Amino acid sequence: MTTLSCPRLLTGGRLTGPGTVTLGDDGRIAAVSAEGAAPADRAPGAATTGAGPAGGVPPGADVALDGGILTAGMVDLQLNGAVGIDLAGADAEGWRTIATHLATHGVTAFCPTFITAPVATQREAIAATAAARAALAGAPVAQPLGAHLEGPFLSPLRPGAHDRSLLREPSPQALDELLDGADLDALAFVTLAPELPGAAAAIERLTAAGVTVSLGHSEATAAETAAAARRGARLVTHLFNAQRAFTHREPGLPARALTDPLLTSGLIVDLHHVAPDAVRLAFAAAPGRIALVSDAVAAAGMAPGPFRIGTVEAFAQPDGPPRLADGTLAGSALHLDEAVRNAVSLGVAAEVALTAATAVPAAAIGAHDRGELAAGRRADLVWWDDDLTVRAVWIGGRRIDLR
């Protein structure tokens, strides 16, 4: 076993410390011990030196981390690609490249996201996710969870960067084509517009099959959103974006997402997709129900230039998020550690922002073996510096090489 001690730990949504985390030989957390509680706005202790070379901590060692914060690994629920690679067309090497890259930014698990495509292509994406998950299991890289199918059951009035010609209604026949014989263990959630014909039955069918339903790319009213939540929908995809705008007489999907305790909302905090005041509003209105997501596409970590998201051509910009040729936002070039820092820069407490990237997304899709520093959870950890820069990452109890 290896025991890590740190001045501050994130446990149960609070920064406490000092404390220790003991990593078992089975890749899980054996024990967590913490004392006291630190105010959310208190600065961490100064970090001056490292804790040894990556991979250089021998089993059975006691390692003192000199400052900073120790948290569970981050979970990104919406990741289309990175470093010039689109997951929709990635081979085994491409999956490993992305998973390795994500780990260096503190992401230890992610939901590969596939935008609108023919239903048969989405089935292939589920199979590709299952294959990648098996191939990368146990490797010191970010682990793929189930796929996130963002379409094709979206509103043609709110397509965003999706190919409008490929959108369709979630009819029983379309659900048959998607689900029958598919590896549903490799399908985490499906984004759909709840106002579409057939959506109510689709929500109930997906939920009964163990697939989480997320609401997005939608003109849904507040009442339609509430009805979808009652039927089993539990997530909202990139809050505020590609949704009916809030007004005081028809608050729409965004307002219901913030006020309905059944719904957890993904939020892209790249300081472009959502204005600072809207970010602050979301965290204030829905405490514990905001999950930071990157919505990263191949542009994340790549040089400016053209790339593809599924069937759509987009362009990585030298400054700002990627866009289509007509200027439409096309995902982001965000990394999740940057989202944490951005949220904190807007006044969100560090413990709240860190929880929104760890425990909240993990719980939202039922990944109860990760997201928290707790005995029995996976030994996926991130050590953060005072400025919330990632200093070290452990996956399955193994410290990875951030280089």
Q: Note whether 44 and 132 are same-domain residues.
A: no
Provide the CATH number for the domain around residue 27. 2.30.40.10
Is position 250 within any domain?
yes
Task: Tokens for 232, please give them.
Answer: 């089993």
pTM of the predicted protein model: 0.92
**Is there a single domain that holds both residue 149 and residue 43?**
no
Helix (H, G, I), strand (E, B) or coil at 248: coil
Write the CB contacts of 39 (distance below 8 Å, at least 6 apart in sequence): none
Phi/psi for 88 (5° steps) reads -65, -25
Please report whether residue 248 resides in a domain: yes
Q: Are 250 and 219 in contact (CB under 8 A)?
A: no
Instruction: Chunk the chain into consecutive blocks of 10 residues (it has 403) and report each block's average pLDDT, rounded to whole numbers.
Output: 94 94 96 67 34 45 91 98 95 98 98 96 97 96 98 95 94 96 96 98 98 98 98 98 95 98 98 97 98 95 88 86 89 95 98 98 96 97 97 96 84
Residues 161 and 144 occupy one common structural domain: yes
The pLDDT assigned to 43 comes to 32
Residue 53, pLDDT score: 40
Q: Which domain, by its residues, includes 22?
A: 2-71+374-399
| Per-position b or e across 339-367, b if 16+ CB within 10 A of its CB | bbbbbbebebebbbbbbbbbbbbbbbbeb
Same domain flag for 95 and 226: yes
Looking at the structure of the chain, the number of domains it has is 2
Could you tell me if 171 and 119 are in contact, meaning their C-beta atoms sit under 8 angstroms apart?
A: no
Pair 145, 221 in one domain: yes
| Residue 300 placed within a domain | yes
Same domain, 46 and 93: no
Q: Identify the pLDDT of residue 46.
A: 31
Q: What is the CATH number of the domain that holds 172?
A: 3.20.20.140
Rg of the chain over all Cα atoms, to the nearest angstrom: 20
pLDDT score, position 252: 97
For residues 271 and 338, the answer to whether their CB atoms sit within 8 Å is no
Q: Is residue 261 part of a domain?
A: yes
Do 203 and 329 lie in one domain? The reply is: yes
My answer on whether 391 and 309 are in the same domain is no
Q: Are residues 117 and 162 in the same domain?
A: yes
Residue 190 belongs to a domain: yes
- H-run or E-run covering 125: helix 119-136
Q: Is residue 165 part of a domain?
A: yes
User: Is 310 within a domain?
Assistant: yes
User: Are 237 and 302 in a shared domain?
Assistant: yes
Which of the following is catalytic: 76, 260, 295, 337? 295
Instruction: Please tell me whether residues 48 and 115 are part of one structural domain.
Output: no
- Residue 76 catalytic? no
Q: Is residue 369 part of a domain?
A: no
Judge if 6 and 114 occupy the same domain: no
pLDDT of residue 36: 59
